[in-house]
Amino acid sequence: MTRLRSVPADPVDRTRLPIDEWRLVESRPSEDLGLMETLFATANGYLGMRGTPSEGRDAAKHGTFLNGFHETWPIHHAESAFGFARVGQTMISVPDSSVIKLYVDDEPLLLSIADLEEYERWIDFREGVLHRELIWRTPAGKRVQVSTSRLVSFTQRHLALMTMEVTMLEGDAPIAISSQIINRQDFQDDFGKGVDGGPIMDKADPRRTTDFAQRVLLPQQDWHSDRRMLLGYRVADSGMTLAVGADHEVSSDAEVEQLVDTSPDLGRQVIRAHLHQGSHLTVRKSVTYHSSRSVPHRELFDRGRRTLDRVRAEGFEAQLEDQRRYLADFWERSDVQLPGQPAEQQATRWCLFQLAQAAARSDQWGIPAKGVSGSGYEGHYFWDTEVYVVPFLTFTNPAWARNALRFRTNLLPKARERARELNQRGALYPWRTINGDEASAYYAAGTAQYHINADVAYAFSQYVDVTGDLDFQRREGVEVLVETARMWADLGFWRLTPDGRSSFHIHGVTGPDEYTTVVNNNMFTNVMARHNLRRAARAVRELREADAEGYATLRTLLDLDEMELEQWDACADGMSISKDEALGIHLQEDRFLEREIWDLSSTPEEAFPLLLHFHPLVIYRFQVLKQADVVLALFLRGSEFTAEEKKADFEYYDPITTGDSSLSAVVQSIMAAEVGHQKAALDYFRAGLFVDLGNLHHNTDDGVHVASAGGVWNALIHGFGGMRHDEGELSFDPRLPTDWPELSFPITLRGSRFRVRLVREEISFTLESGAEVGVSVRGQDVTVTSEGVAVPLADQGPVLDDAVLARPVGLGDTRADGSIMTSHVPGDPDDPWEFPVADDPDDIVEGS
């Protein structure tokens, strides 16, 4: 994955986005509108608003999103088959309430053409408010100062607040402000241009979302008074309902006229005044969104009124103070400090802030791949949440983690239905979904990723180990563990090995690497399934010992036979984990080494990501990875592998991993650090850290890469901090980068929060709240107290030469069948690659 390691140390345009350790600042308007709209999005996990300008134009992708608010549509397969996904789900844009248009002398403020003497836009991660300050010289030569702000509330998840303050610096002029709510889902611009036809899907890039060409939001009611407007809708096919409402408060030292009206797809309040030099006009806008799967819009109107009434009674400043307090608590629990690394510090805090914006108030909905910052991946929930995001929540904000996991318990009935549809016992979670139905139309790289069951079980087990929340496990978690384990026991089968031992096999699945599909004994799947099986058996036995009545209820509810526990233990103990003894590596799947090796070093940069330039069948014939697979298993279940195995596996799979997935770099960073490839670890970390701020995958305009942001935290804490957890026990084996003087971060373990401080000579721990806890450092047990304790470090781990990562291992070696291992780039039919030539032409074996 050497191309990812060529990312500059700081790939961000600092002339436009200067370094500020606590803020993201834009010093001048950008031409890359979509990117900036994502970077400056404001959200709380339920409600998200893209960072479009208050004036509504110019914008690349308008979008206001509610987590889980979606439309459904039939998936039409050219050649269908039983069990294929039938119902697509797409998160839709709700009416846009962020628009506050300004007219001076009847001329609109448009950033793309405005004469701006001053401009700055910023969001401070400690207050969660998007600000913009500018001075506009109008075509008539008048100077106007315009200040705007936008807040999506963490404390009241249905609420957003906006302001616009206009001050005449030079000259007098008539001013008009038009504050609007616009249904952009069905009317794509501000002038009533609608849509017609059928659903449009960007099939050139499966990461993008579906556009609907028929009406989606069906108006139910519009209403207004002198200060308030309300619009109600029902989604055409899914039947979900929505209410959006807005209040306005206006203050000025000039006489003001206000007009308000609503129509089915537009609410508008117009404020007019004549401002003299030195006078001002301020508009404060409070907005509420309420949605439901079935509740009539009239009930949602009432809920919206109550939300707006609270703001009217408490005032704006009270909401701002609540926001600051909420984020102060978040940062106390979550802030990772990198003294002396200002660019990395800013980017790290931006990533952590995105995790808050994606998860804080998701409130038992899932966490979409893009959060609520954009429409990428249709707003779907994937396995990424459990592996990359939930660990951050578990170790910093356990209540948020519990909410994220409760989403999976709520989906369990649908998962049982899906398992039956695929002729399995237990439950099978969908690979991508919003409402619980499988939405992946391409089963090979979607539905076949059965490992999602084990990923969910891993997150449940880790949460219980780290938090000690046995009540959650006994009431909800054990049911998920049992049903996922049942699926594995039913899916796999037994075979005899050549030496006569019984081996448990899982065939016809796809691991995290979507470039190697529908295979036998995918290593990641088998390792994680083994853990799932063992934890399910353990959870049931623990319940039996601790709560006889609860255990009896579980047995009745799930028709559980105690013999199943023995079966799960046997399946786990007999799990097939394939290994090639000659290379000393674990096989990603049984026949992985039979494939030709893709020559990534000779693949032109414009051919990445491979999925957009090569047919899947071409990719599937090669040893080439979209993202970490075996290497991810080494991280998640590290205690099951030796240091030598980890090193051999990493050095084999790293050179053939494209990094086409934003999920890969952070995992590569963690394992590179552990095995000793320290420079590669830092290179990969930066590739993950700046994936959005530097737009490294060229699709940040579709929304934030939330799982990658979670991976940044994992890379810092598990990679450089060297933290590992096994059965709830924490250990540390640090790998501080050479140029970093210090790394510091908080960890919450079983209700106690302590801060870890790593410098080159030592690692120290200081208890900040809760009872004393125990950890270990390179085998030495340590008790963390409020007085603090430090452990000297002889070094920062092994340091290996990264040259071995430059080319695939084994090139030129002879396989068992006599053929030579070579690497190629599949060529254009008109320009095929040349047949490989060995040093001695007589050594070439036909078919090599």
Integer Cα distance of 600 and 500 in angstroms: 40
DSSP conformational letter for 379: G
Q: Tell me the C-alpha to C-alpha distance, in Å, between residue 100 and each of 28, 324, 559.
A: 20, 25, 58
Q: What is the DSSP letter of 423?
A: T
φ, ψ for residue 328, nearest 5 deg: -60, -40
SS3 475: helix
In this structure, the chain runs to a length of 848
678-689 vs 664-675: helix crossing angle, rounded to 10: 160
- Asked whether the bond before 609 is cis by omega within 30 degrees of 0, the reply is yes
Residue 193, Cβ density class (10 Å: 0-12 exposed, 13-18 middle, ≥19 buried): exposed
- Secondary structure of residue 808 in the 3-state scheme: coil
Q: Following CA atoms 835, 838, 844, 846 in sequence, which dihedral angle do they give, to the nearest 10 degrees?
A: -20
Q: Which helix (H) or strand (E) holds 644?
A: helix 643-653
Instruction: Please tell me the distance from the alpha carbon of residue 210 to that of residue 448, in angstroms, as a whole number.
Output: 22
The strand pairing partners of 474, in sequence order, are none
The sign of the torsion formed by the CA atoms of 106, 108, 113, 114 equals: positive
* Whether 514 is catalytic: yes
Question: How many H-runs (helices) and E-runs (strands) does the chain carry?
Answer: 20, 36
| Residue with token string 């060229």 | 698
CA distance 572 to 792: 39
Cis peptide before 471 (omega within 30 of 0): no
- Could you write out the DSSP letters of every residue in 425-446? SS----SSBSSSS---S-TTTT
What are the C-alpha distances in Å from 483 to residues 467, 475, 641? 23, 14, 27
User: Is residue 510 within 8 Å of residue 445, measured between CB atoms?
Assistant: yes
616-633 burial: b if 16+ Cβ within 10 Å, else e: eeebbebbbbbbbbbbbb
Longest dimension (CA), the chain: 95
Q: Rounded to an integer, what distance in angstroms lies between the CA atom of residue 836 and that of residue 319?
A: 68
- Rounded distance, CA 774 to CA 123, Å? 38
- Give the phi and the psi of residue 570 in degrees, each rounded to 5: -65, -45
Query: Distance between alpha carbon 333 and the CA centroid of its chain, in Å?
Result: 20
Instruction: For residue 193, give every residue at least 6 positions away whose Cβ sits within 8 Å of its Cβ, in sequence order, or none.
Output: 187
Whole-angstrom Cα distance, residue 656 to residue 810? Answer: 12
DSSP reduced 3-state for 196: coil
Which residue, 570, 416, 387, 566, is CA-closest to 492?
570
Look up residue 594 and give its DSSP letter.
G
Backbone angles phi, psi at 412, to 5 degrees: -55, -40
Specify the DSSP class assigned to residue 813: P
Q: Give the CA count within 13 Å in the CB-facing half-sphere of 746.
A: 21
Cβ-contact 92, 216 below 8 angstroms? yes
Q: How far is it, in rounded angstroms, from Cα 840 to Cα 837?
A: 8
Catalytic residue of the set 71, 378, 476, 514: 514
Active site residues per annotation = 514
